[in-house]
Amino acid sequence: MTSKIVYEGNLRTRMTHIYSGTEVLTDAPLDNQGLAQAFSPTDLVASALGSCMISIMGIKARDMQLDLKGTEAEVIKIMASNPRRIAEVQVTLIFPANNFSEKERTILENAALACPVAKSLHPDIKQDVKFVWQ
């Protein structure tokens, strides 16, 4: 089992990661009758894309003996209706000052774009990814 999820009422869930015991709360968003006091499930999907990209780049960077510490992802989720769904996820990856070669940057960018979350999202969900090299 990966996780256990308990509905706590008021459109809130508590998810527990079985291996680590880490807990994550979710709330329905304001535009869908919620309180937005925590990530919504669709926020987690969008954020997982940015997190996965950084993680996969981190693996590749470690293999190449490069340091990505301090790299950030800014994520914007855009919803659609009829049916209500994620229409687009915009991810801006911002890298700290470095002296990576053009070849190293290309390898890292390709790794990010091939992350498992990116490959798992439905093709109708637009993925707009920008890389900002300081």
Whole-number Å distance between alpha carbons of 34 and 17: 23
- Domain total of the chain: 2
Q: Give the confidence band of 134 by pLDDT, cuts at 50, 70, 90.
A: confident
pLDDT score recorded for residue 55 = 98
Q: Are residues 47 and 108 in the same domain?
A: yes
Q: Going by C-beta distance under 8 Å and a sequence separation of 6 or more, which residues neighbour residue 20?
A: none
Q: Are residues 124 and 91 in the same domain?
A: yes
Q: Look up the CATH number of the domain holding residue 109.
A: 3.30.300.20
**pLDDT higher than threshold 90 for residue 50:** yes
Copy the structure tokens of residue 25: 């709360």
